[in-house]
Amino acid sequence: MSDAPSEPPRRTKQDVLDMLRDLAELTMLDEGDPQSFRVRAYESATQAITALATDVNKLSAKELQKIDGIGKSTAEKIRQLLDTGKVEKLEGLRQKHPRSVVALLKIQGMGPKAVKKLREELNVQSIDDLRKALADHKVQALKGFGQKSEEKFAHALAKMDEQGVVGRTPVSVALPLANRIVAELLKVKGVTHASYCGSLRRFTETIGDVDIMVAAADAVPVMEALTTLGFVDRVLVRGANKTSIVTHRGTQVDLRVVAAHELGAARLYFTGSKAHNIKLRQRALSRGWTLNEYALSELEGGRVVACETEEQIYEALGLRFIPPVLREDMGEIEAAEKGTLPRAVGAILGDFHVHTDMSGDGHSSLENVVAAAKGRGYKVLAITDHAEGTLSGVGRQAMLDQREKIAAMQKELGDSMTLLAGVELNIGPKGELDYDAEFRQGYGFCLASVHDHFDLDRTAQTKRVIAAMEDPCVKMIGHLSARMIGARPGIDLDMDAIFDAAERTNTALEINGSLPRLDLSVEVLRTARDRKVQFVLTSDAHHENELDRVTYAAMNAERAWVDPARIVNAGTAEGLRSWATSPAAKH
């Protein structure tokens, strides 16, 4: 093993996209201006590379420059990354603006200008520094800030603490990262298994660090492969069986390499949760056994009882297999013993929140979305582009044209799939909805969701959502809290009143599977356990490839022990069709 490989480590299209995103983010900080010319240049290059069909590695700087949206200096940076694995400009920016500073941008209402000022005037270099400055009331003394900004930042930080997101990585960032690492490590010679464990496998909303488990006879090439990946910022630990790195975005990754025969014990241990592990271990002890990351074995003599698979270990302990999403010591071990674990969601029969390229932020044609839904075996699909009240929404004529197109497609589809010409209405600050009542009645399916005015107080937020529920055309409320995990807290709602209204008006609540949202959250879903509210799993897809996100919605529901009988699109096809095509029954 050498520290200076003669060949530069391989860089992929994803590395190029990561580089452009980091360049945009750091340039914005550097210039204190989100609208700067350079930031926009990196953003347009991102779009161009995303759409690129050819292998980016095969293109020279000149050829890259010929692509629409990529300028000369960006083309050179891309080539530099592909050829050497590093880009000078980016390295310089990273030196100047460490991750702790970038993290300040995650605070609601904090822009690059404010960060710049706070650094220059108060030497605020991290969230902790900001906490101190706020506590000492130094922020309000700054020109252009005042008491209002101080309160705003303090409030935003308190919200972040409440959600436990400070210093943690949102699942929307951690999951693609982990999938990429797993795919890369599976390519290493001698690797027979690679997967992620830890909180990510349990599907928590935020992840402290990513835990990767690999089975291989020789650990050295696996560790080497991890440390040379494009997103690695620094290596924290380089041990015999464990390596830890930190990515440029500040996420820690722990890699463990084990022998194939102890994979079950290792995966069980490192999936956790810690509380679940402790309970299992107590159970083992009461049987005269011990359980650790290597095996379930006899206390005396050390004979191995089980170690190869998780299933074998649970079975030896007298338990049904417990899915990772349930391993939180919230009654799952007792339920596994009695055989009363909650039923899995099972087959999902349709989607009710799907965008096409008619929405300003949609990327797939109606035809492609419908074909993809049909390919998944869906019985019902509602097309729900944004209504005119949303930034990326459309007017009446486009909606009418789409309704006609959908009617024609339904003829072609026959009985195989019910296609609904729907819409995602925007809920205004007073609960007002788009278009007019008559136009809305022309839709086959209406969902309504909040996309703005996040700062209204609890009474106003609750009122606006309930007003939308009471509208005769609204069958479902989309992403109820409107939160973005790690970036924007949810709106303040009186959940009791919301559940009451949902039951009374017969309005379903969406479980949105888009990773940055996961809305309803597990926390809210748990509080709805004794309610009669109906749920719908959706993908909120903006591209045909995103229909699969509905499985994240299902995992979120399972984590919260939601009874599948309460999920409209996880029951029977007849039940779903009748729910989907009956008018919203309001009373």
The distance of closest approach from Cβ of residue 168 to ligand DGT in the complex, given in angstroms and rounded to an integer, is: 7
Q: Which of 63, 76, 129, 209 binds Ca ion (CB under 5 A)?
A: 209
Q: Return the one option of Zn ion, ligand DGT, Ca ion, none that residue 277 interacts with (CB less than 5 to 8 A, by type).
A: ligand DGT
Per partner kind, with CB cut-offs from 5 to 8 A, the member of ligand DGT, Zn ion, Ca ion, none near residue 273 is ligand DGT
> In the bound complex, what is the minimum distance in angstroms from residue 290's beta carbon to ligand DGT?
12
Q: Is 540 in the site for Zn ion (CB under 5 A)?
A: yes
Among ligand DGT, Ca ion, Zn ion, none, residue 274 binds (CB under 5-8 Å by kind): ligand DGT
Tell me whether residue 249 or residue 566 sits nearer to ligand DGT (CB atom): 249
For residue 211, the one-letter residue type is D
Structure tokens at 558: 């399972």
Shortest gap between Cβ of 253 and Ca ion (angstroms)?
9
What mask, x for binding ligand DGT by CB under 6 A, covers residues 243 to 272?
--------------------------xx-x
Which C-beta is closer to Zn ion: that of 360 or that of 377?
A: 360
Options 112, 170, 198, 230; binder of Ca ion; rule CB under 5 A: 198
Question: At its nearest, how many Å lie between ligand DGT and the CB of residue 324?
Answer: 10
Binding test (CB under 6 A) with ligand DGT, winner from 135, 278, 344, 371: 278
Spatial distance between the Cα atoms of 479 and 254, rounded to a whole number of angstroms:
33
- How many whole angstroms separate alpha carbon 419 and alpha carbon 407? 8
Taking the C-alpha atoms of residue 307 and residue 235, their distance in angstroms, rounded to an integer, is 30
- Examine residue 364 and say whether the peptide bond preceding it is cis (omega within 30 degrees of 0): no
Distance CA 281, CA 294 (A): 13
Q: Distance between CA 171 and CA 516 in Å, rounded?
A: 7
Q: Does 189 bind ligand DGT (CB under 6 A)?
A: no
Residue 276 vs 566, nearer CB to ligand DGT: 276
Minimal distance in Å, beta carbon 130 to Ca ion? 26
Residues 484-523 that bind ligand DGT (CB under 6 A): none
Sign of the CA dihedral 332, 334, 337, 338? negative
E strand or H helix that includes residue 510: strand 508-512
Please identify which residue in 25, 184, 205, 211 interacts with ligand DGT, judged by CB under 6 A: 211
Three-state SS sequence of 253-316: EEEEEECHHHHHHHHHHHHCCHHHHHHHHHHHHHCCEEECCCCEEECCCCCEEECCCHHHHHHH
Q: Which does 482 bind (CB under 5 to 8 A by kind): ligand DGT, Ca ion, Zn ion, none?
A: none
Q: Is 207 among the residues that bind ligand DGT (CB under 6 A)? A: yes
Q: Output 18 or 540, the one with its CB closest to Zn ion.
A: 540
Of residues 12, 126, 195, 273, which one binds ligand DGT by CB under 6 A? 273
Return the number of the residue (16 or 212) whose C-beta is nearest Ca ion: 212
Sequence-distant (≥ 6) Cβ neighbours of residue 381 within 8 angstroms: 350, 351, 354, 369, 370, 373, 417, 418, 419, 420
Half-sphere exposure of 90 (CA within 13 A, CB side): 26
Q: For Zn ion, which is the closer residue by CB, 262 or 424?
A: 424
Contact yes or no for 212/219 (Cβ under 8 A): no
Q: Which is nearer to Zn ion, 341 or 383 (CB)?
A: 383
Q: Residue 121's closest CA among 102, 109, 95, 139?
A: 139
Q: Which stretch binds Ca ion (CB under 5 A): 19-27, 167-175, 192-200, 378-386?
A: 192-200
Q: Indicate whether 205 belongs to the interface with Ca ion (CB under 5 A).
A: no
DSSP symbols for 181-201: HHHHHHTSTTEEEEEE-HHHH
Give the Cα separation of 255 and 250 in Å (integer). 16
Q: Is 209 in the site for ligand DGT (CB under 6 A)?
A: yes
What is the Cα–Cα distance from 168 to 486, expressed in whole angstroms?
Answer: 8
- What is the total count of residues that contact ligand DGT (CB under 6 A)? 14
CB of 272 to ligand DGT, least distance (A): 2
Amino acid at 482: A
Q: In what order do the strands lie in the sheet with 191-196?
A: 191-196, 209-216, 252-258, 242-247, 232-238
Smallest distance, Å, CB 538 to Zn ion?
8
| Nearest residue to ligand DGT on Cβ basis | 272
Contacting Ca ion within 220-279 (CB under 5 A) = 254
3-state secondary structure of 152: helix
Torsion of CA 487, 492, 493, 495, to 10 degrees: 70
Binding region for ligand DGT (CB under 6 A)? 198-199, 204, 207-209, 211, 269-270, 272-274, 277-278
Binding region for Zn ion (CB under 5 A)? 424, 540
Binding region for Ca ion (CB under 5 A)? 198-199, 209, 211, 254
